[in-house]
Amino acid sequence: MPRLMVLGHAVIDHVFALGETPAAAEKYRATGYRAVGGGMAANAAVAIRRLGGEVLFCGRIGDDGAGRDIRAGLEAEGVDTSNLMARSGLASPVSAVMVDPAGERTLANFTDPALFEGIDGLPTRLDDDIKVVLTDYRWNAGAVHLLALAKDTGRISVLDFDRNAPRDLTLLAC
């Protein structure tokens, strides 16, 4: 199987199971809790690895406890985190996810706005063994950079986005 480079969002999700669907701004008692790794790109990297693929994850986290947990979680799954960059003084992405009895979720995410500025630290060329580049839209400049490298070298590229993607569709031109 080819080696894949995955770029984007990695987060710690704090998941709360609720006995009812939140209907108003008030206190709700959770019936369960767990902290898990999340983020579109990080989840894709873990899924690829679990299917037997070799994955190099590119992203940014803060130099904090959540960032250390994100890195440890990816490494425990066998994902190569040598391009997961910890940024001093910045907060790692975290989410609160509330899941109701029907499985519907309400999610609040915090990502430090400075975390994904610029492209410093990203590779300027793709190693020969990287055959596929997959990005999400959260690190727009990084995604444009890696998708352009993939296009210029004839590699397969995949863009993962959802209905909350920004209106800037520059990524679609890559």
CA distance linking residue 126 with residue 150, whole number of Å: 8
> What single-letter amino acid sits at 2?
P
CA distance linking residue 58 with residue 52, whole number of Å: 19
Per-residue pLDDT tens listing for the chain (174 residues)? 679 999 999 999 999 999 988 888 899 899 999 999 999 999 999 999 999 999 999 999 999 999 999 999 999 999 999 999 999 999 999 999 999 999 999 999 999 999 999 999 999 999 999 999 999 988 989 999 999 999 999 999 998 877 666 656 665 665
Residues 6+ away with beta carbon under 8 Å from 120: none
Partners of residue 9 on adjacent β-strands? none
Structure confidence at residue 163 (pLDDT): 66
The torsion defined by the Cα of 57, 8, 11 and 67, in degrees rounded to 10, comes to 60
Structure confidence at residue 160 (pLDDT): 84
pTM: 0.89
Of the candidates 133, 92, 96, 95, the residue with the CA atom closest to the CA atom of residue 116:
92
